[in-house]
Amino acid sequence: MLNGKRILLIVAGGIAAFKSLELIRRLRERGASVRCVITAAGAQFVTPLSLQALSEDRVYSDMFSLTDESEMGHIELSREADLLVVAPATANILARMAAGLADDLAATVVLATDKPVLAAPAMNVRMWTHAATVANVETLKKRGVTFVGPNDGAMACNEHGPGRMSEPEEIVAAIEGMLTAERPPFEKPPFEKPLTGKRAVVTSGPTREAIDPVRYISNHSSGKQGHAIASALARLGAEVTLVSGPVAIADPTGLRTVHVESADQMLAACLAAGTVDIAVCAAAVADWKAAHPAASKIKKKAGSEPPALELAPNPDILATLSNLGAKPGAKRPALVVGFAAETENLVANAIDKRKRKGCDWILANDVSAAAGTFGGEHNTVHLISAAGVEDWPTLAKGDVASRLADRIALHFSRPPKAEAAE
């Protein structure tokens, strides 16, 4: 909780400024008060009126306003805060902060403060990776500015890569980590490609179980989450085989995709991928298949009863991979991660599933219709391991994937002792 904490939120001019409105709500729900400073460019993206309505406080933008300066001067603004949060932090404001400029109220407040500063960058991937921005961020980090994000993912400019502002919940977690001891900021692996040399297999999408040559049993899985995880692992340097059921989305780049239809084929493809360090079972594998699929189309006969469909269980891919070591010659992946898609008793069922299947981690996600997970862009998951339950904020599927990949990289980077205590 952030009871009584005072946040000075500086909103600069980026598309992600709309997320800062949500950030104000999340902070106030946790008991913090929020006062906003907006840059001239920021006001092109969100209105000071929205910030004022959500923060229930005056919004400051003009350095030379006589009333503002007499009532709440620029030095006073930072003095009266426990933490300054720059979100979105544009390439421009980061450059101005790094150069020590004081050319508008936002920059002056940041320069004049002795309070901790958190920046949530948001910009086009090329702006983020430009040597100038890289150098500015390094400078600011050396001077003690804390950064949260940016995340990888699709951007408003139709590009993909690092540059998306962290989600409000992630920024709140970082703020809580800075202001309280309750929630440490999410830990990132120390190297850019920490999974280099690791092999991974990821399953994704639904399976399709034939009833006859034209009909099948399947489910609504889109493959978005599994594909994003495969991409995120590949971006961290892992050699990834993605085993995908039938989906409408494109094969990710930078990894090998094997297309399958049924659960039997999916399991065979996973085993054919050879010895791997990491297995992530994100596919929604059908529990049952037709016990006797017909070789030709089952005909509808006038006046006769519909045919009975006898079902048989499908192989359990997660349990099979989790117990691979039991068979001579087959090596179990060092880390097996499953998903538990549940509509009720989410965490309890997932804890039980982890034990039953023998996997290391379970990501439990709510797939009730109200959650909109299947086919949707977001996912709310809980990571269940031997150490307990980690609640993750609702994140875009790409961000869930990046976070899981980071978490996996950290797992492998820790010495065995630390891992045991995990």
Provide the binding-site residues for ligand FMN, judged by CB under 6 A.
12-16, 39, 41-42, 90-93, 122-123, 127
Is residue 123 within 8 A of residue 90, CB to CB? The reply is yes
Residue 31 contacts residue 177 (beta carbons within 8 Å): no
Pairing of strands 288-290, 311-313: antiparallel
Q: With beta carbons less than 8 A apart as the criterion, state whether 207 and 187 touch.
A: no
Looking at the Cβ atoms of 61 and 262, the one nearer to ligand FMN is 61
Q: How far is the CB of 120 from ligand FMN (least distance, A)?
A: 11
As given in the structure block, the two tokens for residue 418 are 């630390």
Task: Classify strands 361-366 and 378-379 as parallel, antiparallel or unpaired.
Answer: unpaired
Amino acid at 383: L
- Measured from the CB atom, the residue of 120 and 281 that comes closer to ligand FMN is 120
Q: Which residue among the candidates 157, 270, 281, 359 is catalytic per the annotation? A: 157
Torsion of CA 257, 261, 262, 267, to 10 degrees: -10
Q: By three-state DSSP, how is residue 185 classified?
A: coil
Nearer to ligand FMN, 14 or 333 (CB): 14
- In angstroms, give the least distance from the CB of 58 to ligand FMN: 19
CB of 246 within 8 A of CB of 297?
no
Structural contact between residues 94 and 143, judged by C-beta atoms closer than 8 angstroms: no
Return the number of the residue (164 or 357) whose C-beta is nearest ligand FMN: 164
- 72: amino acid identity, one letter: M
Determine the distance from the C-alpha atom of residue 269 to the mean position of all C-alpha atoms in its chain, rounded to a whole number: 27
Rounded to a whole number of angstroms, the minimum distance from the CB of residue 279 to ligand FMN is 37
Min CB(136)–ligand FMN separation in Å: 11
Based on the residue annotation, tell me whether 157 is a catalytic residue of this protein: yes
Q: Which is nearer to ligand FMN, 60 or 216 (CB)?
A: 60
- Tell me whether residue 108 or residue 373 sits nearer to ligand FMN (CB atom): 108
- Euclidean distance between CA atoms 148 and 87, whole angstroms: 10
Q: Which is nearer to ligand FMN, 163 or 245 (CB)?
A: 163
Question: How big, in percent rounded to 5, are the helix, strand and coil portions of the chain?
Answer: 35, 25, 40
CB of 8 to ligand FMN, least distance (A): 15
d(CA 267, CA 321): 9
In terms of DSSP bridges, do strands 361-366 and 146-147 run parallel, antiparallel, or are they unpaired?
unpaired
> 3-state class of 83 per DSSP?
strand
Euclidean distance between CA atoms 395 and 397, whole angstroms: 6
Question: Least CB distance from residue 77 to ligand FMN, whole Å?
Answer: 16
Q: Which CB, 19 or 411, lies closer to ligand FMN?
A: 19
- In 3D space, the residue among 385, 407, 383, 384 whose CA is nearest the CA of residue 393 turns out to be 383
- Report the nearest approach of ligand FMN to the CB of residue 91 (Å): 4
CB of 166 to ligand FMN, least distance (A): 13
Which residues have a Cβ under 8 Å from the Cβ of 76 and sit 6 or more positions away? none
Q: Which pair of structure tokens corresponds to residue 226?
A: 């599994």
Count the Cβ atoms, other than its own, within 10 Å of residue 173: 21
Residues forming the active site: 157
